[in-house]
Structure 1
């Protein structure tokens, strides 16, 4: 199988991107779509997302506490808070 285009230091023991395997083990209640040859905004629109709701962010290295997911931490969403949209 060809390398998915990630540097070796960013892959887990199974050859997948570390950030995906860490998300999967952290909180199994999500979906991850990995695409290539599309800009992130184009991929999100193809999935039906509304461009007005796009907000770029960078996932932190770790969760701030056991109740906050990495995406919520990146977006500054408090536990129990409903994101706008």
Structure 2
């Protein structure tokens, strides 16, 4: 496998509404989502972290939906790479 960029964007989403957000991405955007279990180091509370890679032109729709579903969601967007 060669190193290189993948078209699209990688999203990490932390929200109390992870089930609703993942359903939106799966059913409306038609992309898979991976659920990761995390721990907040400050609060020591368990967190659900959603990970997915989507097309660039879907980012705005996803961000709007996430913010309407879970207004306190944290969204981190990265360019994905293969190594």
TM-score, with length taken from structure 1: 0.26
Would you tell me which structure has more strand in proportion to its own residues? Answer: 2
Q: Which protein has greater RCO, CA pairs closer than 8 Å, 6+ apart?
A: 2
Q: Which of 1 and 2 has greater Rg?
A: 1
Q: Please, what TM-score do these two structures have when normalized by structure 2?
A: 0.26
